[in-house]
């Protein structure tokens, strides 16, 4: 299990649990042990199991080198309760696994878990629908509206829509929108953020990963815009913020030895008491900072950690979904952990555990956890928190691609539209179905759908007897400039044009009309002389 285990939510956790058991059962050395005045074949001591599994987890990418021996011991205790292993007398469940010479063995029955039933796969229509331009057209309310006609482009309707090209502008009006409400803006941010998250995960559906009803668009907008110059979320309701004494304790550790703002007397072990104060506050929170609703989202990100850029992008989108108080606490906590781990002036915070390991283990379960405690929660949280700590400066940045697309969409919705009288057929409605066609068929449909109305328009101009000849020639020239191919097809030669288009009658200029037109016109002859 050197590679990543991919899945969603509980399905992935179950698969990871089963894979870990298979590796442990398949690789754990078994031998004959002497105990209670007899030999036990195919057995292992508790300390031997801890040694082997600890090294296995540390070398495995899904867990990593941050796994401690104590965490390994906790996992083996879960194995014993789940009857993955048993003691040499066949006892399990109520017994407690011990890291000593006590003997254990593998049971003959399969200890693997069955996979949870996945919900039926739904398509992307479950995503919140993105608000369109037509949702905000300020059109007069009409009663007894007839059913929408089929969107067939007749020649008459085409004439109305393209009359500008031939110089005949019909009556028009500007269609303005009502002002967009903050709730509608929140909905657009929510729709686009969830769509981007699904894209980064490479999933056809977010079933089993995220329920869109648990996402609040207002939280996303707050997390994007209500921040200070360092990117930390600013809370409108100060009662939702951390107590002052917790913030002071965090600053004290983060800026050690220059962070003691309260000027409290510093004594041996003072920094450890300050850390305990911070830890007590976070460990007493009602739910992890990443929330129970988003547990599956962040567990799913674990499968992306091998691709750093992809994992960072997924965390950027996912952390936007957090309630602002949670996002602020997480930002400050990760910044504290990173600074403490990198501070060479800070005394050791534990006599036996390295500072980096201590900080990750102390706050991991405060960051990630499920409502129903999963068997691998602590190990998965350790892996995720380690990555988030190392990249805390980037995972809280708002993706520029998301911001740009939302701004472009909002700008589009704020534009006005020009509509011409009689051209109210709605061609923006989505088709009932679609299918892929060949390039040849596409070109044929393009020709039929475009040239046929144009040809009808041209024939109408030619046959219009009430239109003065001067205006007819003018419009035909405008048509020729706009649609040269259609015009050339109708009039391949000058003769064909002359047969249907009246020629322009030459007119003499007024000052030349006194000459006899029967004789050729002779210009005046005048001689010029020059003096030397």
Q: Parse the chain into domains and list their residue ranges.
A: 12-105, 184-402, 451-497
Query: d(Cα 351, Cα 462) in Å, to the nearest integer?
Result: 99
- Whole-number percent of the chain with pLDDT over 90: 38
Query: d(Cα 174, Cα 51) in Å, to the nearest integer?
Result: 76
Residues contacting residue 366 through CB under 8 Å, at least 6 positions apart = 282, 283, 285, 288, 289, 333
Q: What is the pLDDT of residues 458-490, one digit of tens each?
A: 888 888 878 888 888 888 888 888 888 888 888
pLDDT at 520: 53
In the three-class reduction of DSSP (H, G, I as helix; E, B as strand; rest coil), residue 419 is classed as strand
pLDDT at 201: 93
Say how many residues make up the chain. Answer: 532
pLDDT at 289: 97
Contact 240/159 with Cβ under 8 angstroms? no
Contact 242/331 with Cβ under 8 angstroms? no
Query: d(Cα 10, Cα 114) in Å, to the nearest integer?
Result: 11
Query: d(Cα 450, Cα 354) in Å, to the nearest integer?
Result: 74
- Per-residue pLDDT tens listing for the chain (532 residues): 444 444 444 556 677 888 888 999 889 999 999 887 888 889 999 999 999 999 999 888 788 888 889 889 988 988 888 889 988 888 887 778 889 988 999 988 767 766 555 444 444 445 565 665 555 444 344 445 455 444 455 555 555 555 545 555 455 555 666 678 899 999 999 999 999 999 999 988 888 899 999 999 999 999 999 999 999 999 999 999 999 999 999 999 999 888 666 566 678 889 999 999 999 999 999 999 999 999 999 999 998 988 999 999 999 999 999 999 999 999 999 999 999 999 999 999 999 999 999 999 999 999 999 887 766 778 889 999 999 999 999 999 999 999 999 999 888 887 755 555 555 544 444 444 455 566 666 666 555 556 677 777 788 888 887 888 888 888 888 888 888 888 888 888 888 777 777 666 665 555 544 444 445 545 544 444 444 4
pLDDT at 532: 41
Is residue 523 exposed (0-12), middle (13-18) or buried (19+ Cβ within 10 Å)?
exposed
Query: d(Cα 231, Cα 210) in Å, to the nearest integer?
Result: 26
Contact 14/20 with Cβ under 8 angstroms? no
Contact 43/32 with Cβ under 8 angstroms? yes
Is residue 326 exposed (0-12), middle (13-18) or buried (19+ Cβ within 10 Å)?
buried
Token pair in block for residue 338: 């990173």
Contact 368/377 with Cβ under 8 angstroms? yes
Looking at the chain, the number of H-run helices and the number of E-run strands are 19, 6
E strands, 409-494, where? 417-420
Distances in Å between the Cα of 312 and the Cα atoms of 47, 72, 221, 255 are 38, 28, 20, 27
Q: Indicate yes or no: pTM above 0.85.
A: no
Token pair in block for residue 53: 């599994």
Label each residue of 366-412 as H, E or C: HHCCCCCCCCCHHHHHHHHHHHHHHCHHHHCCCCHHHHHHHHHHHHH
Question: Other CB atoms closer than 10 Å to residue 327's CB: what's the count?
Answer: 23
Q: What is the pLDDT of residues 107-134, one digit of tens each?
A: 887 677 665 554 444 444 455 656 655 5
CA 82, 87, 88, 90 dihedral sign is: negative
pLDDT at 202: 92
Taking alpha carbons only, the member of 117, 106, 104, 145 closest to residue 9 is 117
Taking alpha carbons only, the member of 433, 449, 432 closest to residue 441 is 449
pLDDT at 8: 43
- Tell me, which fold does domain 184-402 have in CATH? Phosphatidylinositol 3-kinase; Chain A (1.10.555)
Q: Tokens 């409605």 map to which residue? A: 429
In the three-class reduction of DSSP (H, G, I as helix; E, B as strand; rest coil), residue 413 is classed as helix
Question: Other CB atoms closer than 10 Å to residue 418's CB: what's the count?
Answer: 9
Q: Give, in words, the CATH class of 12-105.
A: mainly alpha
Return the bridge partners of 164, or none. Answer: none
Taking alpha carbons only, the member of 35, 38, 19 closest to residue 27 is 19
Distances in Å between the Cα of 307 and the Cα atoms of 130, 302, 387 are 30, 10, 12
Pinpoint the alpha helices (H) of 284-354.
295-301, 308-320, 324-342
Token pair in block for residue 374: 């999963």
Contact 121/207 with Cβ under 8 angstroms? yes
pLDDT at 375: 67
pLDDT at 428: 44
Q: What is the pLDDT of residues 41-97, one digit of tens each?
A: 899 999 999 999 999 998 887 888 888 898 899 889 888 888 899 888 888 877 788
pLDDT at 18: 86
Taking alpha carbons only, the member of 190, 199, 210, 288 closest to residue 8 is 210
E strands, 106-219, where? 172-175
Contact 43/36 with Cβ under 8 angstroms? no
Is residue 96 exposed (0-12), middle (13-18) or buried (19+ Cβ within 10 Å)?
exposed
Q: How would you list the strands of the sheet with 38-45, edge to edge? A: 31-35, 38-45, 103-105, 86-87
pLDDT at 512: 46
DSSP labels, 32-65: EEEETTEEEEEEEEHHHHHHHHHHHHHHSTTT-T
Pairing of strands 38-45, 172-175: unpaired
């Amino acid at each position: 299990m050197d590679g990543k285990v991919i899945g969603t939510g509980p399905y992935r956790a179950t698969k990871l649990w089963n894979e870990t058991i298979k590796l442990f059962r398949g690789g754990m050395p078994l031998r004959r042990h002497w105990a209670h005045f007899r030999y036990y074949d195919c057995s292992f001591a508790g300390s031997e199991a801890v040694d082997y599994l600890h090294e296995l987890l540390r070398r495995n990418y899904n867990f990593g080198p941050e796994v401690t021996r104590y965490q390994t011991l906790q996992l083996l205790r879960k194995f014993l309760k789940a009857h993955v292993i048993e003691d040499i007398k066949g006892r399990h469940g109520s017994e407690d696994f011990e890291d000593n010479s006590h003997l254990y063995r593998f049971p003959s029955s399969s200890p693997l878990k069955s996979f949870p039933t996945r919900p039926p796969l739904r398509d992307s229509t479950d995503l919140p629908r993105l608000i369109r331009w037509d949702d905000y057209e300020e059109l007069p309310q009409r009663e007894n509206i007839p059913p929408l006609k089929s969107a067939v482009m007749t020649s008459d309707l085409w004439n109305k829509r393209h009359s500008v090209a031939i110089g005949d502008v019909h009556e028009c009006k500007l269609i303005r929108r009502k002002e967009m409400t903050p709730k509608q803006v929140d909905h657009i941010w929510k729709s686009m953020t969830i769509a981007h998250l699904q894209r980064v995960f490479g999933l056809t559906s977010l079933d089993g990963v995220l329920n869109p009803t648990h996402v609040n668009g207002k939280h996303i907008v707050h997390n994007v815009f209500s921040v200070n110059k360092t990117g930390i979320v600013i809370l409108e309701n100060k009662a939702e913020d951390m107590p002052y004494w917790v913030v002071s304790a965090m600053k004290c550790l983060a800026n050690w030895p220059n962070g003691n703002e309260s000027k409290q007397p510093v004594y041996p072990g003072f920094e450890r008491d300050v850390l305990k104060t911070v830890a007590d506050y976070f460990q007493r929170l009602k739910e992890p900072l990443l929330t129970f609703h988003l547990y599956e989202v962040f567990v799913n990100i674990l499968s992306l950690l091998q691709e750093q850029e992809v994992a960072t992008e997924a965390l950027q989108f996912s952390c936007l979904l957090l309630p602002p108080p949670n996002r602020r606490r997480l930002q400050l906590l990760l910044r504290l952990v990173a600074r403490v781990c990198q501070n060479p002036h800070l005394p050791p915070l534990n006599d036996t555990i390295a500072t980096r390991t201590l900080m990750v283990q102390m706050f991991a379960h405060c960051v990630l956890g499920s409502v129903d405690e999963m068997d691998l929660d602590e190990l998965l949280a350790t892996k995720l928190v380690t990555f988030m700590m190392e990249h805390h400066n980037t995972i809280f940045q708002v993706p520029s691609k998301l911001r740009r697309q939302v701004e472009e969409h909002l700008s589009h919705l704020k534009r006005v539209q020009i509509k011409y009288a009689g051209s109210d057929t709605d061609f923006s409605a989505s088709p009932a179905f679609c299918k892929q066609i060949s390039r040849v068929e596409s070109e044929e449909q393009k020709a039929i759908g475009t040239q046929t109305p144009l040809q009808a328009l041209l024939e109408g101009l030619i046959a219009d007897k009430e239109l003065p000849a001067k205006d007819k020639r003018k419009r035909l020239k405008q048509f020729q400039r706009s649609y040269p191919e259609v015009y050339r097809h109708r009039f391949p030669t000058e003769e064909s044009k002359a047969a249907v288009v009246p020629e322009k009658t030459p007119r003499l200029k007024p000052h030349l009309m006194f000459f006899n037109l029967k004789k050729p016109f002779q210009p005046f002859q005048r001689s010029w002389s020059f003096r030397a």
